[in-house]
Amino acid sequence: MLSPTTSPPFAFREGAMFLIDKPRGWTSFDVVNKLRWRIRKHLGVKKFKVGHAGTLDPMATGLLNLCVGPWTKKLQELEGLGKGYTGTIRLGATTPSYDAETEEDTHYPTEHLSLKLLRQHTQQFTGLIEQVPPMYSAIKVDGQPLYKRARRGETIEVKARSVEVSQFDLSNFTGASVDFAISCSKGTYIRSLAHDLARAAGSGGYLTALRRTAVGPYRVEDAWVLEELLEAISV
């Protein structure tokens, strides 16, 4: 297990891992770029390696593991770890991206939904399952990310992939939304789980909130707020 860096002085040249709580609206690459720029300025160098283990969508918040310097070679050790998430599913509608990044395109009834019914349907999405990733994803087909094709209005058949969901708990059902807590394997699309669960229950659904709470043994409670880390580096 790699030990995260929690306080200065930072061993950038020797290599280090930082746990960062990614802000909403930032891409994972935005965080990498911001940290790389600050480290380069701090060290007075033109180039410096920074990488992350596991992309988070811009809408999502939560744990992002970043390795710097020689430790970027250790990213593969982190990428295969299981993930933990919490979030909210809006019920009764769908979007092309399966989250709130795109506009609602279809509406569905919700009167028949209940927490009990939804919980019954989570069973078919627990364990080893076959999952079809959303069209709005970074998966490449013929060398091009699917989301670029989706934005052009193209429809591509996306192959299902095997993923494992070890926990799929629901709570705080309001009729219009429901909260969840999920533990899953690498490569699981939470947007697809939200969409598929609502469809199985005879309605529609998409993510309005998503937060990564864990990557293997690492927890978001131990993560840096990005601005506080940047400030600590500049000291």
Strand, helix or coil for residue 152: coil
β partners of residue 211: 61, 86
d(CA 121, CA 201): 7
d(CA 194, CA 165): 13
Q: Hey, what's the torsion of the CAs at 200, 206, 208, 209, to 10 degrees?
A: 60
Helix ranges (H only) for 19-145 are 28-43, 75-79, 115-122
Peptide bond connecting 133 to the previous residue in cis, omega within 30 degrees of 0: no
Closest by alpha carbon to 18, among 205, 215, 160, 168?
A: 215
Q: What is the total residue count of the chain?
A: 235
Amino acid (one-letter) located at 205: G
Residues with a catalytic annotation lie at 57
> Is residue 185 left, alpha or beta, with left meaning phi > 0 and alpha meaning psi from -120 to 50?
beta
Residue 85 vs residues 60, 61, 183, 209, 234: alpha-carbon distances, Å? 10, 10, 6, 10, 32
